[in-house]
Every structure is written in structure tokens, then in C-alpha cells.
Amino acid sequence: MALEAARIMGQLLANGVVSREALRNYNIMVSENLHGWLQYVLMKAADNLGLLAIPEARVPFDKPLEPSKVLPGRKGRRRWLKRVDVGFFSPVKRFLGFGECHTLDEFHGCLATRELVKLVHELAGREIYDVERMWISPRDMIMHMVRYAKKERKPKIAVLFVVLPERLEERCARFKDQKLLLKKGSGFFLERWAEFVEEMRKADVDAHLIRLEENGVWVDGELSIDLSPEALKERVKRWRELASSMRIKPFTEEGEESWKWMSREYAERKLGLR
């Protein structure tokens, strides 16, 4: 699933359907609806593999997530379900697992909520979050789902589709806490995403990480689709060599004589073949 999604994503980037700038510029990401394109890629990959996929699939819990237990002081109602970005189903509609898409606004979604609060406050040198209304991180929500989903919705496979540029720069973020986190660099967050995937695997989920950046698509730490300038130049070179090696001559095959308005001799003379 992850490899097929990487292949489709590589095509969209190579063809300009999704721009490279949408992977490193927050405002362009929003204007191009990048999150929607990532959902499309996961659903298309599932379809290519003979599976069913729907957006915003509901996964109910046996045990609710209580915000105050995720983060002391956090208020809010208990949560009895999660809507996943894409739900994967067998051809007979049996739930198999999910895909989650994390664009630039969630590059830090690999951190547990408590760790996120602590880290941002350390970077800011003061408390800036309103703990009572604090965002529950994707990591906490997803891991709760993995552990406590109802039996008929227990995920067996998971794909995390993460946009994480090689360099985290000012244009990658919009909000103050995100801008503070840029200082940690891509390597820090990549390592934490990998740890998140490993945590799901320990819970018997066949989980995979697709990391999307401006020069390539990575699957579980391996470069799957190379979109670097050097790789593109090599592809153009191979295409030119292929085109120049082809020697196709007109009229090499006999066709039906259906020349209503000109003779074959006239056509060959106009084409310079006589």
C-alpha cells in the first residue's frame, strides 16, 4: 500500500499536479488543498490493489479517550470515536485499517500532547498554551484508537503520510508554536515519526511511514521516488536516448486503400518520399 501510494504521489509531483512549493510553503499548501490530494493518493493506491477506501471513516472505541488523562488540566468531553482520513476495506467491506495525512500544519503530530506542551514552553521560555483547550495530538488520538477500537474496527494496517521538508524554514509554519518548533529541525521530527510507527507495530499493526519532501518520496526510511534535479535530468536524458533510437518510417505497413480525395502517389510526393 505504502509503495503504491509513493508511486502515485511521485507521478503527481513529476506532472505538476501537486507543486513542490506546496510541500514547503504553508500558504501554498493551503491554497492547493494538499491534504485532499494526499487522501486521493491513498484511496487510489487502495483501489489499484483491489481494496475499497473511503474518506473520513468512523472508528468507534470500546473505551473513551479522556482529555484530562492525556494532559492534566485539559477540559472537554470524552471522545468515543475517531474519524480517520482514509479507511481501508476488503472487497466484502471488512475494515482493514486506516491512512492519516499530516501536512505542514501537523509536522509535529508525532509528539505526545504532554511532550509537545513541555517542549514548546521550554523553547518559548514561558507558558504559551492554554492547557484547558490544548490540542490533543494525532499521536495520542491514533494510539488510543489502535488500543481501544471496537473489535470490528480494529486496524490491521496503517499508513502515515507525512509532509516533512528537508529544511524546516519560516515559510513552513504559520502559528507561533509551530515556528518555535522549527528550531528542532526535520531530523528530530523524522525520528519521532519513525518511533510513532514502531509503537503501532508493537501493537500488532502493520504500520508504514511515507515521508514526502520536495526532492523525493520516502517509505520507511528508504528513498522510493527520487525527484531531485539530478534524477530528473537523468530521466530526460534517457527519454532523449530512447526517442533518438527510434526510426519510424511512414507507410511501412500496408493499410486499406481508402483514399477518397487523394492518391497514394500524391500523398507520398507531398511527404517527400518520392
Query: Where along the chain do its domains lie?
Result: 2-236
What pLDDT sits at residue 36?
98
Query: Comparing C-alpha atoms, which of 19, 37, 179, 207 is closest to residue 108?
Result: 179
Contact 142, 162 (CB under 8 A): no
Residue 238, C-alpha cell as written in the block: 534517457
Distance from C-alpha of 20 to C-alpha of 90, rounded to nearest angstrom: 33
What share of the chain in percent tops pLDDT 70?
84
Give the pLDDT band of residue 19 (cuts 50, 70, 90).
very high
Partners of 81 in beta bridges: 60
176-219 residue pLDDT tens? 999 999 999 999 999 999 999 999 999 999 999 999 999 999 99
Residue 230, C-alpha cell as written in the block: 539530478
The contacts of residue 268 (CB under 8 Å, 6+ apart) are 251, 274
What pLDDT sits at residue 228?
83
Q: For the residues 5-16, what does the mean pLDDT come to?
A: 95
Q: Please calculate the CA angle 159-96-146 and round it to the nearest 5 degrees.
A: 65
Mark 240-274 as b/e (b = at least 16 C-beta within 10 Å): eeeeeeeeeeeeeeeeeeeeeeeeeeeeeeeeeee
Name the more confident of 162 and 273: 162
Name the more confident of 100 and 241: 100
What pLDDT sits at residue 259?
45
